[in-house]
């Protein structure tokens, strides 16, 4: 572990996919820690606003990386650009600091944000790399001088390369069916990783926190318990951490309140697994109707978790489903968002269910159903976040 104030001094790093939530954060830390950084992405993203002093090329096709630079490639562009995987760069960053890495299928972003928020509020100047925007921290990444808090990722096995001082395992749930063939394989993966970590928090061994949080839901009480356990291992007194965590207001797209119009509240969530959908719908229940607009994410996930999606969405009062957001996958013959609609109709006959392949059409469907006192919850890991402003405009 380096004690140098500029551990990356003299390095020249070029990043393919630099506009992503993860890679943009890596770029920010590497630049702040002394490297010259540049990169490429296909489109402008909100994360690039944090990289004002980094040369970024935006173009449909990747340019030739500059000669003599270390090239790191986002998982999204693996195979299109020659270079080292993102896991290698993240592992280098983690090696520079005392680090806390949060892993698991659900709750990683929120729990990582809770830990970083508490460290920040207690004056401990954390560095952090989080998979979503944290408004109270000014973004998703920072190159502070204290502990480095990282949201780990098992989707491409990049987690295996990280060697933190403290690891948090929130839960185990098969979510990436093209990476792991079974839950048993996933469990083995996590256990192999944890063997390399000195201090481990297993959230399933903890009781949920019993304080009043600013973020709703039983799942967030469990996330908070894991965050406090990690903070204790990092040397933060429990009483001080508890006093800070109750002020945590949430991360972007994690049951984020987007506004209200016509007496209808609109919330947006990154939830894209049945367990996450069910937790979010339960968390927002306040006596009124919950109208869900769901955009499935990945063909493989839709195929393997079809019944689970229907069961989770059945907890809402009305549901409209869009076509699948493909992300990095190619279509699978016969797999469509319509499968979820059909499964849900069989599970809850008579339920008001909509099928609208295009997001704009789904907005029209749910706003047509809405009445004062309702809550509309937009769900998914794709571009469904575009829906909330359209809904609010239509309801105004």
pLDDT tens series, the chain, 396 aa: 544 458 899 999 999 999 999 999 999 999 999 999 999 999 999 899 989 889 999 999 999 999 999 999 998 898 899 999 999 999 999 999 999 999 999 999 999 999 999 999 999 999 999 999 999 999 999 999 999 999 999 988 999 999 999 999 999 998 888 889 899 999 999 999 999 999 999 999 999 999 999 999 999 999 999 999 999 999 999 999 999 999 999 999 999 999 999 999 999 999 999 999 999 999 999 999 999 999 999 999 999 999 999 999 999 999 999 999 998 899 999 999 999 999 999 999 999 999 999 999 999 999 999 999 999 999 999 999 999 999 999 999
* Alpha carbons 276 and 269: distance in angstroms, whole number: 9
Predicted local confidence at residue 3, as pLDDT: 45
Q: Quote the CA–CA distance of 35 and 66 in Å, as a whole number.
A: 15
**Distance from C-alpha of 370 to C-alpha of 258, rounded to nearest angstrom:** 16
Backbone angles phi, psi at 140, to 5 degrees: -110, 0
**What is the side-by-side order of every strand in the sheet holding 166-169?**
139-142, 127-134, 148-151, 99-103, 166-169, 199-202
Q: Strands 99-103 and 199-202: what pairing?
A: unpaired
Could you give the CA distance from residue 278 to residue 268 in angstroms, rounded to a whole number?
14
Token pair belonging to 342: 């059909």
**pLDDT (tens digit, 9 = 90+) per residue, 149-193?**
999 999 889 999 999 999 999 999 988 888 898 999 999 999 999
For Cα atoms 273, 280, 142, give the angle at the middle one, nearest 5 degrees: 80
Buried/exposed code over 156-178 (b: 16+ C-beta within 10 A; e: otherwise): bbbbbbbbbbbbbbbbbbbbbbe
pTM for the model stands at 0.92
Which domains can be identified in the chain, with CATH numbers?
A: 12-85 (3.40.50.720), 97-245 (3.40.1190.10), 256-395 (3.90.190.20)
Q: What is the pLDDT of residue 5?
A: 57
> What digits encode the pLDDT tens for the residues 13-44?
999 999 999 999 999 999 999 999 999 999 99
């Amino acid at each position: 572990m380096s004690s140098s104030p500029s551990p990356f001094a003299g390095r020249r790093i070029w990043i393919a996919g630099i506009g992503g939530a993860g890679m943009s954060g890596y770029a920010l830390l590497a630049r702040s820690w002394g490297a010259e950084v540049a990169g490429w992405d296909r489109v402008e993203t909100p994360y690039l606003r944090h990289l004002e002093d980094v040369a970024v090329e935006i173009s449909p096709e990747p340019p030739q990386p500059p000669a003599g630079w270390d090239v790191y490639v986002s998982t999204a562009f693996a195979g299109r650009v020659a270079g080292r995987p993102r896991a290698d760069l993240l592992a280098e960053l983690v090696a520079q600091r005392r680090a806390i890495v949060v892993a698991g299928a659900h709750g990683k972003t929120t729990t990582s944000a809770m830990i970083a928020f508490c460290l920040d509020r207690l004056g401990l100047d954390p560095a952090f790399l989080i998979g979503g925007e944290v408004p109270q921290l000014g973004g998703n990444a920072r190159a502070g001088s204290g502990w480095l808090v990282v949201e780990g990722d098992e989707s491409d096995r990049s987690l295996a390369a990280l060697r933190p001082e403290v690891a948090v395992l929130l839960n185990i749930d098969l979510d990436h069916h093209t990476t792991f063939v079974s839950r048993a394989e996933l469990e083995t993966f996590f256990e192999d990783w944890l063997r390399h970590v000195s201090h481990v928090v297993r959230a399933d061994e903890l009781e949920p926190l019993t304080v009043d949080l600013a973020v709703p839901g039983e799942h967030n009480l469990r996330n908070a318990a894991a965050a406090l356990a990690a903070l204790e291992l990092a040397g933060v007194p429990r009483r001080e951490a508890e006093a800070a965590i109750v002020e945590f207001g949430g991360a972007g797209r994690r049951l984020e309140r987007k506004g209200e119009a016509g007496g209808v509240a609109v919330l947006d969530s990154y939830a894209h697994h049945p367990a996450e959908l069910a937790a979010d719908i339960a968390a927002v229940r306040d006596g009124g109707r919950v109208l869900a607009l769901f955009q499935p994410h990945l063909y493989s996930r839709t195929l393997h978790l079809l019944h689970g999606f229907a069961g989770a969405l059945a907890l809402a009062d009305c549901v409209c489903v869009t076509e699948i957001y493909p992300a990095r996958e190619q279509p699978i013959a016969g797999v469509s968002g319509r499968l979820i609609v059909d499964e849900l109709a069989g599970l809850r006959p008579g339920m008001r269910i909509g099928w609208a392949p295009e997001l704009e059409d789904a907005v029209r469907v749910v706003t047509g159903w809405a009445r004062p006192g309702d809550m509309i919850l937009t769900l998914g890991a794709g571009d469904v976040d575009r829906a909330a402003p359209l809904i609010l405009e239509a309801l105004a």
